Amino acid sequence: MSDLDHNSANCAANPAANRVAHHLDEVRQRIAKAAQAAGRDPQAVMLLAVSKTFPADAVRAAHAAGQRAFGENYVQESLDKIQTLADLRASLEWHFIGPLQSNKTRPVAEHFDWVHSVDRLKIAQRLSEQRPDNLPPLNVCLQVNVSGEASKSGVGIAEAADIARQIAVLPKLTLRGLMSIPEPAGDLDAQRAPHRELRELFERLRGDGLALDTLSMGMSADLEAAVLEGATIVRVGTAIFGARDYSH
Ligand SMILES: *Cc1c(COP(=O)(O)O)cnc(C)c1O
């Protein structure tokens, strides 16, 4: 069999992997187009592939298609996946993006590279204490409850500066920026409003001297709006892996 035959045989044998690669391409093009419209460098927007509820094989397929950063929401599910994919660990970045209870911080501090969903000081303190000494500081974002936040978690805009300053001095964390999960909105203008709010807060905090470089905002339905408002990480699940099935 020639190489070409061999490749097409692989493709035919793995339509699910093909689909992931194709969807990744589409999402990358959406990001590039929005970045262009905003006069931004598309490279300044990192795509975080949200793999929650999808099996390790889906992550493997995305990795084979060049994707490196993956987002997970559930502690036990993510630990199983990280273990199954241990052979890829050196070329993968794991980002925890789900609600985090204080009794579950230790494995997250031990196994992840980033946590986007820090929504109170106590969680940050525990992550810092529990981050192993042999690992680099854990990258974190402060989750902010912008107007109409769907999840209702996150700190209020008014208290964000104070909490951010206290997180920024914790020894085993690097406070990288802010994250939000706005309520789904229909049109582009409505989608941009909460992202703009987060970006304005980000700019105020930077103006106050905090060294932040990350705005984690935008998902499958509103990534264009987020990129237009300055997102540096978009967190995309459905548009890459398909609809999630929570029944098992
Ligand atoms: C599930 C999830 C996403 C991805 O959402 P999609 O609409 O599937 O792209 C992004 N961010 C967070 C915090 C999530 O929980």
Q: In which band, very low, low, confident or very high, does the pLDDT at 202 lie, cut at 50, 70 and 90?
A: very high
> What pLDDT, on a 0 to 100 scale, did the predictor assign at position 248?
61
Pairwise CA distance, residues 240 & 242, whole Å? 6
The atom of ligand 1 lying closest to the CA of 235 is: 10
Output the CA 49–ligand 1 centroid distance in Å: 9
Q: How many distinct structural domains can be found in the chain?
A: 1
For atom 13 of ligand 1, the residue with the nearest CA is 97
Q: Is 197 part of any domain? A: yes
Q: Is 82 part of any domain? A: yes
For atom 15 of ligand 1, the residue with the nearest CA is 98
Looking at the predicted structure, is the pLDDT value of residue 3 above 50?
no
Looking at the predicted structure, is the pLDDT value of residue 12 above 60?
no
> What pLDDT, on a 0 to 100 scale, did the predictor assign at position 148?
67
Q: In which band, very low, low, confident or very high, does the pLDDT at 7 lie, cut at 50, 70 and 90?
A: very low
Q: Is 155 part of any domain? A: yes
Q: What integer best gives the mean pLDDT of the chain? A: 94
Q: Is 53 part of any domain? A: yes
The atom of ligand 1 lying closest to the CA of 181 is: 13
- 22 contacts 11 by C-beta, under 8 angstroms: no
The atom of ligand 1 lying closest to the CA of 97 is: 13
Residue from 97, 114, 198 to probe ligand 1 pocket by mutation (most atoms less than 8 Å from CB): 97
Q: Is 124 part of any domain? A: yes
Q: Is 198 part of any domain? A: yes
> What pLDDT, on a 0 to 100 scale, did the predictor assign at position 6?
42
Q: What is the pLDDT of residues 105-164, one digit of tens each?
A: 999 999 999 999 999 999 999 999 999 999 999 999 999 999 767 777 899 999 999 999
- In this prediction, residues 31-42 reach a mean pLDDT of 98
> What pLDDT, on a 0 to 100 scale, did the predictor assign at position 44?
97
Q: Is 248 part of any domain? A: no
Looking at the predicted structure, is the pLDDT value of residue 69 above 90?
yes
Q: What DSSP string runs through the chain?
A: --HHHHHHHHHHH-HHHHHHHHHHHHHHHHHHHHHHHTT--GGGSEEEEE-TTS-HHHHHHHHHTT--EEEE--HHHHHHHHHHTGGGGGG-EEEE-S---GGGHHHHHHH-SEEEEE-SHHHHHHHHHHS-TTSPPEEEEEEB--TTBSS--SB-HHHHHHHHHHHHT-TTEEEEEEE--BPP-SSHHHHHHHHHHHHHHHHHHHHTT----EEE---TTTHHHHHHTT-SEEEESHHHH-S-----
- In this prediction, residues 69-83 reach a mean pLDDT of 98
Q: Is 213 part of any domain? A: yes
Q: What is the pLDDT of residues 203-221, one digit of tens each?
A: 999 999 999 999 999 999 9
Output the CA 90–ligand 1 centroid distance in Å: 24
CATH code: domain of residue 205: 3.20.20.10
Looking at the predicted structure, is the pLDDT value of residue 5 above 50?
no
| Structural domain span for residue 130 | 3-241
Q: What is the pLDDT of residues 234-247, one digit of tens each?
A: 999 999 999 999 87
Name residues contacting ligand 1 (CB within 6 A): 50, 52, 73, 97-98, 181, 219-221, 235-239
